[in-house]
Chains A and B, each alone.
Chain A
């Protein structure tokens, strides 16, 4: 039905000028369509796999049966989410339920705040699973205090440090738990030939291009820096990279770089290069998601089945007297919104129907269907409750596409046959208690929306230049000072005002 409508409109306006075309689209978007109570519920969601599962495939049918709701999926490929969403938003061609993300997208946020979608806050309490959504996740999902969709729940902090256990053993070292110990390990990994091949071909840390945004950011958290932004004692919202803790971490990391304990050309290393380098045993310390140890091992095994690679997973690093903390790498435990357009659900009853559907998806049975598939068809469970996928290809085709649409990633943690997976799951759950989130994430600043990417890139460059010794700390500070006049101060001010309004 929808496709026919799109085609006829397209041919109808093909000859018209673009302005007219856009006007028509915008105008049509405004007219009431959808919300027909009879047809199946439509859900526009994101797909991360190359192929979509067949409509009315086994999982979809099973889910329809379980939830008692007939629904139709409109898959949007992850690579083009933003363009597709832009087009859908501008033409009003949405669905009864819309998966919105990425979390930091200005377009998505302004669309959410535009009033097109229901504020769901008051209704969550009526549903058993939705009522249980973690307060921190809800806070992260708010936009200037309002909740315009049900948040996708994720583990709040998956990061930690993974260290080559076999190298530690070769050198007779203990697993490090402080930055000081970690530094010593990095030195030993670089200088003491941990793989015992007689060549000087290893380093400690193996970092990549996104150091400032990912690896180092997580390390700076141990020194006391915030996640993106932090609130000072007098209520000011300031960028984390302006704080003393962050600069202290930078000074330490520059020392590590100068000594050669981190790969010297990390600013050119892409994520896959990093994975390859680690699998090849070039470096022994990685600041990354704890679940990655399993992937590094798999990669190393595919090249050399006899690889001695073993990993120690560390989630409790601390620095001097700074209490244990970990920065959230998942936007405070949320991966987007399940938003309900008012146009498609004009009444509260229709809204409740959609919310009820989401609530059902959060039940263990539905979660199992979307994670593992159907028992006997896609997976098997042994006596210890270990889940094994029986037909990987079929699972990837029929089940995997649904896994990224699960409204929560932490309903059940299944036992895996891979010990690294179980250990990582445990340590990531432990992280929740010490997690630090970005206080500015749920706030809005006009200047941030227009200027942040340029400011962030300039600070990122200055960071890399400082670490590699191209500039000094004074130059880094001067760079930040110059950025203050280009919007950084204004962003701080706007966030501070928004923070005061929401919190007080």
Chain B
């Protein structure tokens, strides 16, 4: 979850001394051996901070789905698909509820976080800062994007050293599994449905895939902040999670016949991308560049954010009635 995409994330530089340092090390050793914390009283300030920031980003990401999936809800071609999108959104907002509720125990107020926070201070990833155009793109987002989220939340459920958070993710992962399965089922359907829908699926894959790759953040060798792993808030590194995601989506896409810019490299024993990261998205055309950019340029694009980065949360703080509706 922790990533360079969270550009506004300001972790406290922790400099424990003396007994405090011993306390930090003791906690790190305990969680490494599998110990689960059950209460805030067991935490060091640094642990608490890393945990809270992780939960805040996860909660904001879940909330951002109300904007992401809204256009597909309006554009859905049948009643059945409208129900599928509305139901998936209901699930995601339920997940947001579970996560913000957890933050209440750390002194946050959900209403203040959602309705009074400056909309520029919500923290999401570039993947979630784009409006999904229609139902076909929506099922591809479920296939790749929900799968990326599911990869992250599964890791948290399996590994997180804060017991209440790990347990709360059972419900989340139980439901995310259905979203991913829905994405797989209907992506396959549209791929085989007609030449036109096949083309739409491929276009959606081309748009979403590089963005979902970036969901997992910078490569491990660039990461400077490792507290999430040190304190076992999560279990796997950015590259490990990305590899886990690739190992699930690439074989699926290949089995359907969908082209994805990644393959398994037997000599390395892992999946590799067919392009060099980082690459930039041209937001005007919706196309990714063919040539890599600098990481500075990539960070600048993430910092600026996609089209709905701010507007989506701003909308939740506004009332639109009467002629604004229809």
Q: Do A and B come from one complex?
A: no
- Which residues of B does A touch, CB under 8 Å? none
